[in-house]
Amino acid sequence: MSRVSAFHSELGHKHHDNNQCQEGNKIEPRHRRSGTGNLPLCEVCEKLNKEGR
């Protein structure tokens, strides 16, 4: 289980909360913001969370 605190890209349209998410890991540190940003959860993270990864 690799759930982390929610984070998002200031340029993105969804937030991430799993550190296995490739999309989340692609976010450059300078664009990365903590919290959900009131954005929906990324579907990749959702799937990883459901699978318990």
Which single residue brings its beta carbon nearest to Zn ion?
A: 42
- Residues in region 7-26 near Zn ion by CB under 5 A: 16, 21, 23-24
The tokens for 28 are 């450059």
Q: Which is nearer to Zn ion, 30 or 44 (CB)?
A: 44
Q: Is 48 a binder of Zn ion (CB under 5 A)?
A: no
Q: Is 42 a binder of Zn ion (CB under 5 A)?
A: yes
Q: What is the distance between the alpha carbons of residues 40 and 14, in angstroms, rounded to a whole number? A: 5
Q: Which is nearer to Zn ion, 23 or 30 (CB)?
A: 23
Which residues, in sequence order, are CB contacts of 18 under 8 Å at separation 6+? 2, 3, 4, 24, 44, 45, 48, 49, 53
